[in-house]
Amino acid sequence: MLESTQARLILAAERLYALEGIDRVSLRQIADASGQRNPAAVQYHFGTKLELIRMIVRYRIGPYGQRQVEMCKELDAQGRSLDVRGLVEASLRPFAELEPPDSHFVRFLAELTKNPGLFAEVHAGVEDELLAGSRLLESRLLEALADLPPELRYLRLQLAINAGLSAIARAHEQRGGPSADALPTALLVADLIETITAFLHAPAPVVVGLSMS
């Protein structure tokens, strides 16, 4: 169980990282935004920036990951365990449907996926049971795209997930707002699923003089 101070720090960090970018926010700014007088409050409660980011993931990821696992089981029951479209839907739909109104987690994740090295470092320190959904989906998508060179598979997945999360985050921000350009969430998610599936299915390019394993 988190202390109230820890929860305030986590929520402040999530919001600032989502809105400003992870590399543009100092730990002192997070302490100030959470109402802490001690500028070293983050270090006192979490030790490092990396551990703070991991705590944001731990604090939020549970419902999304649980739904991802459930959707994978539904695909299994339908004989679609390696169906790319179904796996893309399982990857993205929970973030569109389960985001609490006061949360900035999807946009935070979109910012995190912009830095694959940090993303991997964060995930390496989060408990397996919390990330079961994302790890299951990644492994299945990589297997489903086995006709692509390995390095291209990883790149496409990174690009696809970042694009999907960024679009969903924008939809959440426009929720209830005056924007006439905002798509209904259901239409946005349906279009993202189709577009990203087509992107992942595209054949590997042939570049003269370049060989990919």
116 Cβ neighbours under 8 A, 6+ residues apart:
158
Mean pLDDT, to the nearest integer, of 184-196? 92
Question: How confident is the model over 41-57, as pLDDT tens digits?
Answer: 999 999 999 999 999 99
pLDDT-derived band at 9, boundaries 50, 70, 90: very high
Tell which phi-psi region holds residue 99, choosing left (phi > 0), alpha (psi between -120 and 50) or beta: beta
Does the structure show a pLDDT above 90 at 198? yes
pLDDT per residue over 71-89, tens digit each? 999 999 999 999 999 999 9
The mean pLDDT value for 136-145 works out to 97
Q: Provide the domain limits for residue 137.
A: 61-201
Name the percent of the chain lying above pLDDT 90: 83
Residue (of 153, 139, 192, 138) closest to 169 by Cα position: 192
Q: Which of 6, 7, 126 is nearest to 65 (CA)?
A: 126
Q: What stretches of 62-196 adopt beta strand conformation (E)?
A: none
State the pLDDT confidence band at 205, using cuts at 50, 70 and 90: confident
**What is the DSSP secondary-structure string of 140-164?**
HHHHHTTTS-HHHHHHHHHHHHHHH
Which DSSP category does 184 fall into?
A: P
- Is residue 21 situated within a structural domain? no
Cβ atoms of 61 and 165 closer than 8 Å: no
Instruction: Indicate the average pLDDT of the chain.
Output: 92
CA distances (Å), origin 172, targets 20, 40, 101, 134, 153: 17, 32, 8, 21, 29
Residue 211: its pLDDT value, please? Answer: 61
Residue 171 belongs to a domain: yes
Mean pLDDT, range 152-173, rounded to an integer? 93
Q: Is the pLDDT of residue 178 over 60?
A: no
- Helix, strand, or coil (residue 54): helix
Residue 7 lies in a domain: no
Of the candidates 203, 82, 213, 209, the residue with the CA atom closest to the CA atom of residue 149? 213
* pLDDT, mean of residues 149-165: 94
Q: In which band, very low, low, confident or very high, does the pLDDT at 180 lie, cut at 50, 70 and 90?
A: very low
**Does residue 156 lie within any of the structural domains?**
yes
Question: Using 50, 70 and 90 to split pLDDT, how confident is the model at 169?
Answer: very high
- The count of structural domains within the chain is 1
- Does some domain include residue 30? no
pLDDT at 186: 86
In a domain, 48, yes or no: no
148 falls within a domain: yes
Two tokens, residue 69:
């696992």
Supply the pLDDT for residue 6. 95
pTM: 0.90
Selection from 22, 170, 176 nearest residue 106 by Cα: 170
- The SS3 of residue 112 is helix
Across 105-143, b (16+ Cβ under 10 Å) vs e yields: bbbbbbbbbbeeebbeebbeebeeebbbbbebbbebbee
Residue 95 lies in a domain: yes
Which of 114-118, 142-146, 180-184 is predicted most confidently? 142-146
